[in-house]
Amino acid sequence: MRTRRSFRAGHLILAALLGALVTAGAVLLAAWLLLGRWGLSVMEGVALVNTQFVGDFDGDEAADAALDGMVNALGDRWSYYLTAEEYADQTERRSNRFVGIGVTVTPEEAGARILSVEEGGPAQAAGLLPGEVITGADGQPLTGEAAQSAADLIRGEEGTQVTLTVLGTDGTEREVTLTRAVIQQKSVTWEMLDGDVALITVKNFYSGCAQQGREALAAAQDAGARGVVFDLRNDPGGYISELTDLLDAVLPEGPIFRTGGKGGGESVVESDSECVDLPMTVIVNGDSYSAAEFFAAQLQEDGWAVVVGSPTSGKGYSQLTFPLLHGGAVGLSTKTYRTGDGVSLVGTGLSLDVRVDLSEEDAALLSAGSLSHGEDEQLQAALGALGEGR
């Protein structure tokens, strides 16, 4: 009886060992199929550092360097690696929502020059104006190299205060204390120009862009607009969903976006029959990126708008951002995209209908929001080209 029980116990132990070996083998096979030889080698390197290296090191710093190097080695200019801090900044920026005082600044020798002031923010309420220079924050000078840190010193937690030293455009200096608040930045603004032409400026294609664009178009039409100029200069692009939604609002029925993934196949986005049937032009420049470049291309392809400006980058891959356990993220090109007619912009960019290049001085003024409409040669060319596309 004891022999039979011992045999059974031994049989169970053997079965358990065989099961564990099969499971381990399956895990190793899955790891090999998923990671490949080079991926497992990376894991080996991490294991060796953790078990054999005798020096002190920062694990997050090592991971940042390794991941950044891996993504750069892909040779894809559109893929990227973000540290935890960079990923948090990107997430905030793409939401068009941030905590601060509501200014955009650029560092200069004299301090942080204000480029724009957000409507309804603490800075506007305190009377800060574009062109003024912030020379100090909470007693810390922001002149010279210190100006590079201005944005970090100005930003902070909601409800906290910051005291700024501000140099006015008239040369007088004053101190202003502001309470930081949540700022909801607008993606789209518009104004009516002479001749009943609506100038619609699309700053980015992040959260809320399509809805704000639809509202701007509706308001412009209600105000009697007889033409539309879309200004997409210095627009960094954004989300495909915002892009296609705004294209759908503007264009008549038909394909407006084609995309394909690693596994093959194609997905096509179609516009419905509702559209904005007005003469249109689109202004672009070298910093009209991704969704901004594509928006202009699709309007041009459908014969809905004339494209005016300077050459664009020629992007044709879309990226997904994948968060990582240590707080960073990897952004990888996961899909190709093409226009409704199947045209890729990779390597070519837009075929401009009217090429107009701004001088370096005017381009700087445009970026600072200080270029007047009358001096804006690209805008004037766009106004002159209205209606030529149809």
- The domains of the chain, with CATH numbers, are 97-184 (2.30.42.10), 188-384 (3.90.226.10)
Residue carrying the six token digits 């407006």: 256
* Measured torsion, CA atoms of residues 344, 80, 118, 174, in degrees rounded to the nearest 10: -140
pLDDT of residue 106: 81
pLDDT of residue 104: 83
Query: Distance between CA atoms of 226 and 234, rounded to whole angstroms?
Result: 26
Query: Distance between CA atoms of 200 and 189, rounded to whole angstroms?
Result: 6
Query: Distance between CA atoms of 109 and 155, rounded to whole angstroms?
Result: 20
pLDDT of residue 8: 61
The structure's pTM equals: 0.81
Would you give per-residue pLDDT tens digits along the chain (390 residues)? 455 555 565 556 666 666 665 565 565 556 555 666 777 778 888 888 888 999 898 989 999 999 999 999 999 999 999 999 999 989 988 888 888 898 888 888 889 888 888 888 999 999 999 889 999 999 999 888 887 888 888 888 899 999 999 999 899 999 999 999 988 888 999 999 999 999 999 999 999 999 999 999 999 999 999 999 999 999 999 999 999 999 999 999 999 999 998 888 899 999 999 999 999 999 999 999 999 999 999 999 999 999 999 999 999 999 999 999 999 999 999 999 999 999 999 989 999 999 999 999 999 888 877 789 999 999 999 999 997 755
β partners of residue 238: 205
Query: Distance between CA atoms of 287 and 52, rounded to whole angstroms?
Result: 47
The neighbour count for residue 48, using CB atoms within 10 Å, is: 10
Query: Distance between CA atoms of 237 and 291, rounded to whole angstroms?
Result: 4
Query: Distance between CA atoms of 81 and 329, rounded to whole angstroms?
Result: 6
pLDDT of residue 201: 97
Residue carrying the six token digits 């004339």: 306
- Distances in Å between the Cα of 287 and the Cα atoms of 118, 222, 276, 292, 373 are 22, 31, 26, 9, 19
β partners of residue 137: 140, 164
